Each structure stands twice: as C-alpha cells, then as structure tokens.
Amino acid sequence: MKTKLFFLATTMAVLLSSCLKDNEKTVRHNYSPEHYKVIQAHLNLPVEVDNYSLQLPQTVGGFQVFADNKQATLGRVLFYDKRLSVNKEVNCASCHIAEKAFTDGEQFSPGVTTERTSRNTLALGTFPSFNAYYGFGGTRMFWDNRVASVMEQSAETMKNPVEMGNTDLGKVADELLKEEYYEILFEAAFPNQNYLTNEEKMLTALQSFVSSIGCFNSKYDQELIRSNDHKEAPFTNFTAEENRGKEIYNTNCASCHNLGAVAFSTGIVAANNGLELSYSDEGIGEISHNPSEMGVFKVPMLRNVELTAPYMHDGRFATLEQVVEHYSSGVKNHENLHENLKKSFDEAKNLNLNENDKQALVAFLKTLTDKGSLMASRYADPFK
Ligand code: HEC
Ligand code: HEC
C-alpha cells in the first residue's frame, strides 16, 4: 500500500509548464568535497547532478516533465549495477542497452540462467517522455500491460528466476548500502526519509531514472516543429520517399502508433495486429482469461524503431522490411483483430503495397531515430 501511494506521489511530479516557476526555485545541493571524493573513486558522476527534467516541445505535448535529479542519479547507478542480480553478472543494461533505445538486439534475452526470457525485451527509449506516457496512470507496462509502475516492474524483474533471480530485495538493497558511495547517494536522494525502507528507495530511484528517459529530437520531430505541427503536408527536409512513407504511415499506422501528444490522448494502448490466427502466447488474455483479450498485446511506441530489432512480442521479425511486409500481405483475420486493421467485419486489411511504397514506409520509420538523445551522458554507465 505504501509503495502504491508513493508511486502516486512520484507520478504527480509530471508537472504542467505553469509550475515551472516553483521548479526553478528549487535549490540544488551538491555533494560535499569529501563525499564527492568517495563517489569519484568508483563512479563517473558530475559534481553537480545532471538535469533529468524534460521540456517537451508543443508537438508532443508542450509541458515540462519534472524529475528528481538525485533520485534519477542514484537510479542510473543502480541500473548499471550487476549486484542487482543473484549471480552479480546481470544488470538492467544487460537487456536494455542505451544505444539500441534500451533493447538488446536479441529475440529472447539471457539472464542469470541458461534460459531466456519468454518475450522480446521492450524498449525504454521509444517515447518522447517515458514518464509522460506512463506516469499519469491508466497506461500500463510490459507486453501484456500487467504492471502499473516501474517500481512494480523492477521488483518483478529482480525476482524473476530467469532475469535477475533474487528472492529478497530488501537484502539486495541493504548489501548495496554497505558501500560508502551508496550510503552517500541514497542519503542525497532521500534525505531523512527514514519512513521508507531501503528496498523502497532502491525501486523508487530506478523508477526515477527510467521515467526520465525521453527522445524527441529525431528528423521527424525537427520537421514537425519546423512545420508548426502540420504533419499531413510534405516536410521540407524530407526526401520524396520519406514524405511518401509519411503519407502511408499517417493513413494506416498512426491511428495505433501515435507520434503526437504523449499523454492522455494516446488512445489505443493494446490491440491484436493479426500476427497469427491462434497464439501460443495470448498476451493480455493470458492473465485476464477474457476471450476478447486473447492475442492482444501492448501497442509499442515507434520512435527509434530502427534501433530496436527484432520486432513484436516474440521478436519474430528481424527487420523493418519484414514488419512492413506483415502489414502489406500478412495480416491474419484473428477473431480479436483490431478494427483499424480490418477491411470489413470478417476480412483483414492487407495494404498490398508496391515495392516503392514498402521502401518508402521503411524510409519514413527511419526518420524517427534520435540516437543523440539516447547517448546523453546522464543515461550512460557510470561505473569506472
Ligand atoms: C534478462 C533481460 C532483462 C533484464 C535484466 C531487465 N529487463 Fe526489463 N524487460 C525485459 C523484457 C523481456 C521485457 C518485456 C517483458 C514482458 O513484457 O513480459 C522488459 C520490460 C521492461 C519494462 C517495461 C517497458 C514497457 O514499456 O512496458 C521496463 C520499464 C523495464 N523492462 C525496465 C527494466 C529495469 C529497470 C531493469 C533492472 C532492474 C530491467 N528492466 C532488467 C528484459 C529485461
Ligand atoms: C490496430 C492497431 C495497429 C495498427 C493500425 C498498426 N499496428 Fe503496428 N503494432 C500493433 C501492435 C498491437 C503491435 C504489437 C503486436 C505483438 O507484438 O503481438 C505492433 C507492433 C509493431 C511494430 C513492432 C515494434 C516493436 O518494438 O517490436 C512495428 C515496427 C509496427 N507495429 C509498425 C506498424 C506500421 C508500419 C503500421 C502501419 C502499416 C502499423 N504498425 C499499424 C498495433 C498496430
């Protein structure tokens, strides 16, 4: 219960720009020279904590997404610490690599055993703001949308026998705190907050870090801003092929894979996209046992999609060309196939694109890449 309440408090930290003033007044505390020396012996962290807050352009919402910089800094260290796993060989970044938009290029991922995960690793760097997409509540995480927060997700992942294999997260946190630099980082992130357990602090910090990830400086975003959000008209700095791809995307894909405002209005968060007539992994239906949710999965966000291969919940497609071929000729008329992918009541809609149009759609998807934002030093491995 306490965990839930605390999550709410964190999500409320997504502030509208009208609150900017309060935020500016916040005093920044730096580490004392002695403390910074201890940190520096082990970690590449700046003297003044990095700024993890984001100011979103109007084209993706226009508001400020507030982050607690000291919690996010601690979360960054934890994200890259292999001591979060039972054999001390796996960290979050084993499966979530920044330059791949926080995926790992594997169909299924190895963790602490010889087994692999049963689903494809979800990207963390495909949102204009991770927090703005998930932080308001309502939108849930994992391919089957089974958890509501990064705290819950991290706890599940750390306990998952294949992924990180721990049973007692309190013990993990207590162990870390024997390290002097962790003592300093935890105290800076949660000053005098003794009502929280070390486990809660650890999970909250991971949440602050993951929530701070955001990318909105792709070629597409730049053109969206330049055009004053006129996404239908051809973009000045797009090639003819990219503009053709954009047209196809806006007509056939954008209804589910929203590229605009990041919160509230996103609409379709889960759907069946006709990969099979009958699924071995039923997605949301696997949990709910609701017939109308069989074969229904999260609709993934597509910024940086060029970097997140292979694709779909089971990583079945190695390339974007294969994904496009699916929507062009492979959509199956599953009983829960979403209406946006239907031609009529009982017929799947295949786009039957010609070769040029298929290439154009792939070219457009590549304009969504924003590697620069992913490579920001505040997201990088801090360990020396
Ligand atoms: C062994 C690989 C592996 C490790 C280690 C791992 N993850 Fe993941 N992560 C995955 C997979 C696979 C999924 C999708 C699982 C599913 O949907 O059932 C996922 C999903 C997620 C999601 C959900 C994203 C969304 O949009 O729904 C978040 C957030 C996340 N991981 C963060 C983390 C954090 C934080 C850590 C470290 C505490 C971590 N992961 C460690 C493989 C891993
Ligand atoms: C009805 C909603 C819907 C429409 C319309 C739609 N998709 Fe999807 N898309 C989904 C869902 C749901 C998934 C995940 C399905 C799964 O893994 O089982 C998905 C997955 C994807 C993925 C894989 C992303 C990843 O990270 O693995 C790509 C790429 C993609 N779609 C591109 C497109 C393109 C291009 C179009 C237009 C031609 C399109 N989609 C139209 C719902 C939709």
49-100 confidence digits (pLDDT tens): 999 999 999 999 999 999 999 999 999 999 999 999 999 999 999 999 999 9
Provide the CA 122 distance to its chain's centre, in angstroms: 7
Pocket of ligand 1 (CB under 6 A): 84, 90, 92, 94-96, 109, 111, 117, 119, 121-122, 124, 141-143, 150, 153-154, 157-158, 163-164, 206, 210
Q: Which two tokens stand for residue 253?
A: 């894909």
Identify the nearest ligand to the CA of 308 by its number.
Answer: 2
Q: For a pLDDT cut of 90, what percent of the chain falls above it?
A: 86
Q: What is the pLDDT of residues 161-189, one digit of tens each?
A: 999 999 999 999 999 999 999 999 999 99
- On whether the CB atoms of residues 164 and 85 are closer than 8 A, the answer is yes
Q: Of the residues 11, 87, 95, 299, which should be mutated to test ligand 1's pocket, given the most ligand atoms within 8 Å of the CB?
A: 95
Q: Which two tokens stand for residue 99?
A: 């330059």
Asked if residues 219 and 372 have their Cβ atoms less than 8 Å apart, the reply is no
| 351, 245 Cβ separation under 8 angstroms | no
What confidence tier does 137 reach under pLDDT thresholds 50, 70, 90?
A: low
What pLDDT score was predicted for residue 135? Answer: 81
Pocket test for ligand 1, best of 10, 87, 96, 120 (most atoms within 8 A of CB): 96
Across the range 194-212, mean pLDDT stands at 97
The answer to whether residue 28 scores a pLDDT higher than 90 is: no
More confident residue, 4 or 64: 64
Residue 220 scores a pLDDT above 60: yes
Ligand 1 atom at minimum distance from 130 CA: 26
Question: Atom 10 in ligand 2: which residue has the minimum CA distance?
Answer: 299
Mean pLDDT over residues 233-252, rounded? 98
Name the closest-CA residue to atom 32, ligand 1: 154
Kindly report the number of other CB atoms within 10 A of residue 357's CB atom.
Answer: 18
Atom of ligand 2 nearest to the CA of 315: 27
d(CA 266, CA 208): 22
Q: Tell me the one-letter amino acid at 351.
A: L
Determine the distance separating the centroid of ligand 2 and the alpha carbon of 275, expressed in angstroms. 10
What confidence category does residue 263 fall into, taking pLDDT thresholds of 50, 70 and 90? low
Ligand in closest contact with the CA of 271? 2
pLDDT of residue 265: 52
Mean pLDDT of 313-317: 98
Segment among 141-145, 266-270, 340-344 with least mean pLDDT: 266-270
Q: What is the mean pLDDT of residues 10-33?
A: 50
Average pLDDT across the chain, whole number: 91
Ligand 2 centroid, distance to 298 Cα (angstroms): 9
pLDDT at 29 over 90: no
Return the ligand 1 atom nearest residue 120 CA.
12
Which ligand 1 atom is nearest residue 298's CA?
Answer: 27
Q: Which residues contact 64 (CB under 8 A, 6 or more apart)?
A: 15, 16, 17, 19, 20, 23, 53, 54, 55, 56
Q: Which of 383, 378, 375, 377 is nearest to 101 (CA)?
A: 375
Contact 375, 217 (CB under 8 A): no
Q: Which ligand is nearest to the CA of 363?
A: 2
pLDDT of residue 30: 73
Q: Tell me, in angstroms, the distance from the centre of ligand 2 to residue 318's CA.
A: 14
Question: pLDDT tens digit string along 146-162?
Answer: 999 999 999 999 999 99
pLDDT at 1 over 70: no
Ligand 2 in reach of 327 Cβ (< 6 A): yes
Atom of ligand 2 nearest to the CA of 279: 18
Question: Tokens 């290029």 correspond to what residue?
Answer: 105
Indicate whether 323 pLDDT > 90: yes
Which region among 7-21, 249-263, 267-281 has the lowest average model confidence (pLDDT)? Answer: 7-21
Quickly state the pLDDT bin for 341 (edges 50, 70, 90).
very high
Determine the length of the chain: 384
CA of 172 to the centre of ligand 1 (A): 18
Return the closest-CA partner of residue 340 out of 331, 284, 298, 247: 331
